[in-house]
Amino acid sequence: MSRIIDLGKYIEIGINALEENFSFLWRAIDDGISWTVDNLSELLLSIPFVVFLLIVVLLAYYAKAGKMMFKKEGLKKGGGLVAFVVIGLFLIYAMGYWEDAMCTTTLVLVAAFIALVLGIPIGILAAKNRTADIIIRPILDFMQTMPAFVYLIPAIFFFSVGDTPGVVATVIFSLPPAVRLTSLGIRSVPNDVVEAGRAFGATEKQILYKIELPLAMPTILTGVNQVILLALSMVVIASMVGARGLGSVVYQGIQQNDIAKGFESGLGIVILAIILDRITQSFANKKG
Amino acid sequence: MTTMKSDEDKVVKLRVEDLTLIFGKRKKEALEMLEKGASKAEILQKTKCTVGISKANFEVYEGEVFVVMGLSGSGKSTLIRCLNRLNEPTAGKVFFKDEDITRKGNRELLNIRRFEMSMVFQTFGLLPHKTILENAAFGLELRGEPKEEREKKALAALETVGLKGYEEHYPSAMSGGMQQRVGLARALANDTEVLLMDEAFSALDPLIKSDMQDKLLQIQEKVQKTIVFITHDLDEAIKLGDRIMIMKDGIIEQIGSAEEILTHPASEYVEAFVEKVDRKTIITAESLMFPKPSLLRVKKDGPMRAIRKMQTEGVKFLPVVEDERRTFLGYVWLNDVLELAEKKEMSLEKALKTEVPSVYSDYTVEEMLPLISGNNYPLAVVDKQGGRLLGLVTQTSLIIEATRYGDEEVKQLIKKANKTNRL
């Protein structure tokens, strides 16, 4: 079939132009992300396993039990997750994937952090401004329906191979829920509370910081949870462009047809996912 | 619309002039049509704009409770929001202390909202993530007052509304009535001169509502704020309002005291509105009495003059007053006076029946009804100071006033009255 419009060619031209003209920007981003990832993973690995385990256990317990930390009810609520954290992390450690797991955690945290830093303000903008919302909405739809592999192509193009393109592709993939849930959260703040604030002379800034964001916080935290899970689900794909961690072990397992390796590292990802999900979800479920 | 009596001794706190608010995109066109006298329906059809408020004019005096009443859609909530510009008026002026609020810049407007007017909402509008104390202090927090100071003020306000001891609770743990007390405390904590209350008690259970109304009146006695109170409940309007403004479809139908509105409804709409009110508790002797009745002076008027006066008036009795001060003394009956005349007595004093009830001008129908049973003469209305005779309330007018509601008790009264007395 003959092609009438060569859309891909124009996109290629556009991306080429971007690459050439803003190379300083890409380099800066690359440097920034690489530096952060390297240092953070080094930091995580410098913590002895037992100490790290203890920290995660405490965090998980606090997330679940909250104010009842020192009571019996707290133990009832947090006990299950604590047991899972201990067994799960020990399993990863014992299987010999601790280093990879920390690398993955680093990538996920960095990507999720960037996605939130970008996504929450965009979400606020979308909630406040109709025009912005009309523009942002289809872009988010586009981002979410586009197969994740496609993001790898420009990522490689701008940042060659390594952790950075992996993080960038992950950010793009996991950004939408941060925007959507922030916007949803702010929109569902009851109008009467906002009006009350206005009647007492609140500025727009005060309304945002003192009323809207606190009331939207549970929804925004659900967004945080979703962002982290999506970021984690990208680790295998990101490893295709050279990102390190458990994802790359799974990828090796696929390439070498190594069932043992693939299963073990896959299980590691699942364990990380469950721990991160339960902890962030508990924070989201807590009332503001 | 009836024009308001201008009371010169009262300070005007808020004055609204030709206030118009139009919803929709083609406001200008709609406004022009309105100026030319087009109806709401015509404007809606032509410009797709809704007229929320149409040329409202009224004044609110310092220290009064000014109730704006109307059914939903009458524009009352829209109107109150024009006073602090939560709604932007399309045309007209709102004067607060002789300054036009509609011309204020953003900063000035914020300061008016922070320091001059506070508001209480139907749905409370409390922050669920803040404690009761923090909620009550919220207006002060927005002003930027230091924490210690605002909490002190908030605590005092909570005490005023009777919520001491609940400071650390959260709104979700409280009943509607208590939540609204927090809303009221928040407004009081700001200590503004004007209090805007938008259907503040409408969402509450009847008993709690009545309780809150009492509380508000109690507080008002102490703080003497200028309160604009919105309601759709006429009983509430009558209970709280020093003056009531009735609105319909964005137009002011009438402004006046509860009694003025009940006794002289300005339109059929108002009449229909006030029909169901229990007038017995509102209508007072003052509006029922016929003033300046013919009377006799106890010293100056002798029996002969009394007989002549009764004949010309066609009555069997007349009230008697003290000569100079016109203090009400009692009645004389024709029979007795005739006897006196036969005896050639010169003074009416011997025929005077002093054991008759008299009332003050603010007695309500309900209070007067028991006084007339069994008697066949009108009730004398006297001045609180000095007992000067102001007028007479006849049994007929009392009974007519009372029977509009088909009260069993009153029907009995009529039967009795018909039997025992005929003028």
Tens digits of residue pLDDT in A33-48: 999 999 999 999 999 9
Does residue B406 come out as left (phi exceeding 0), alpha (psi in the -120 to 50 range) or beta? left
Pick the CATH number of B285-417 from 3.40.50.2000, 3.10.580.10, 3.10.25.10, 3.30.465.10: 3.10.580.10
Superfamily of domain A9-46+96-285: MetI-like (1.10.3720.10)
User: What tokens were used for A155?
Assistant: 């990522």
User: Which residues sit opposite B95 in a β-bridge?
Assistant: B15, B100
Contact B305, B347 (CB under 8 A): no
Distance from C-alpha of B93 to C-alpha of B17, rounded to nearest angstrom: 5
Query: Which residue of A203, A214, A215 is in closest CB contact with B110?
Result: A203
Among B314, B284, B242, which residue's Cα sits nearest to residue B7? B242
Write out chain A's pLDDT in tens, 288 residues.
677 888 888 888 888 888 888 888 888 999 999 999 999 999 999 999 999 999 999 999 888 887 777 777 777 778 888 999 999 999 999 999 999 999 999 999 999 999 999 999 999 999 999 999 999 999 999 988 888 888 888 888 888 888 899 999 999 999 999 999 999 999 999 999 999 999 999 999 999 999 999 999 999 999 999 999 999 999 889 998 888 889 999 999 999 999 999 999 999 999 999 999 999 988 887 744
Distance from C-alpha of A255 to C-alpha of A263, rounded to nearest angstrom: 13
User: In chain B, which segments carry CATH 3.40.50.300?
Assistant: 12-277
User: What tokens were used for B249?
Assistant: 């479809």
- Per DSSP, chain A holds a count of helices (H) and strands (E) of 14, 0
User: In chain B, which segments carry CATH 3.10.580.10?
Assistant: 285-417
- Cβ B142–A190 below 8 Å, yes or no? no
Nearest CA in chain A to B134: A210
Q: Does A274 touch chain B (CB under 8 A)?
A: no
B115 neighbourhood in chain A, CB within 8 Å: 201
Exposed e or buried b per residue across B139-170, where buried means at least 16 C-beta atoms within 10 angstroms of its C-beta: bbbbbebeeeebbebbbebbebbebeebbebb
What is the residue type of B85?
Answer: R
Angstrom distances, CA of residue B411 to CA of A183, B132, B398, B400, B406? 66, 52, 12, 10, 7
The residue extents of the domains of chain A are 9-46+96-285
- Cβ B142–A196 below 8 Å, yes or no? no
Exposed e or buried b per residue across B112-130, where buried means at least 16 C-beta atoms within 10 angstroms of its C-beta: bbbebbbbbbbbbbbbebb
pLDDT digits (tens, 9 = 90+) for B22-47: 998 888 888 888 888 888 888 888 88
- Cβ B138–A199 below 8 Å, yes or no? no
Distance from C-alpha of B380 to C-alpha of B328, rounded to nearest angstrom: 8
Low-confidence ranges of chain B (pLDDT < 50): 1-6, 421-423
B190 neighbourhood in chain A, CB within 8 Å: 200
Distance from C-alpha of B207 to C-alpha of A66, rounded to nearest angstrom: 39
pLDDT at site A196: 94
- Min CA distance, A287 vs chain B (Å)? 8
The count of CB pairs under 8 A between chains A and B is 65
pLDDT at site B3: 39
pLDDT at site A146: 87
- Cβ A190–B123 below 8 Å, yes or no? yes
Distance from C-alpha of B137 to C-alpha of B402, rounded to nearest angstrom: 49
Strands across the sheet with B117-120, in order? B117-120, B194-198, B226-231, B65-69, B243-248, B251-256
Q: Does B82 touch chain A (CB under 8 A)?
A: no
Q: Does A48 touch chain B (CB under 8 A)?
A: no
B113 neighbourhood in chain A, CB within 8 Å: 198-201
Q: Does B114 touch chain A (CB under 8 A)?
A: yes
Q: Which of B88, B138, B145, B168 to mutate to test the interface with A (most CBs of A within 10 A)?
A: B138
Distance from C-alpha of B52 to C-alpha of B23, rounded to nearest angstrom: 7
Among B279, B313, B278, B273, which residue's Cα sits nearest to residue B295? B313
Under CATH, what is the fold of the domain B12-277?
Rossmann fold (3.40.50)
- Residues 324-363 of chain B whose Cβ lies under 8 A from any Cβ of chain A: none
Distance from C-alpha of A48 to C-alpha of A69, rounded to nearest angstrom: 25
Query: Which residue of B86, B126, B143 is in closest CB contact with A199?
Result: B86
Query: Which residue of A200, A217, A287 is in closest CB contact with B118?
Result: A200
- Cβ B114–A201 below 8 Å, yes or no? yes
Distance from C-alpha of B80 to C-alpha of A144, rounded to nearest angstrom: 46
B138 neighbourhood in chain A, CB within 8 Å: 197, 200
Angstrom distances, CA of residue A220 to CA of A131, A181, A187? 22, 6, 12
Angstrom distances, CA of residue A239 to CA of A125, A249, A265, B6? 33, 8, 13, 83
Q: Does B110 touch chain A (CB under 8 A)?
A: yes
pLDDT at site B416: 63
Contact B256, B244 (CB under 8 A): yes
Distance from C-alpha of B392 to C-alpha of B29, rounded to nearest angstrom: 56
- Residue A285, number of CB atoms within 10 A of its CB: 14
Nearest CA in chain B to A207: B142
Contact B321, B327 (CB under 8 A): yes
Distance from C-alpha of B344 to C-alpha of B365, rounded to nearest angstrom: 41
DSSP secondary structure string for all residues of A76-138: HHHHHHHHHHHHHHHHHHHHT-HHHHHHHHHHHHHHHHHHHHHHHHHHHHHHH-HHHHHHHHH
pLDDT at site B1: 35
Nearest CA in chain B to A202: B142
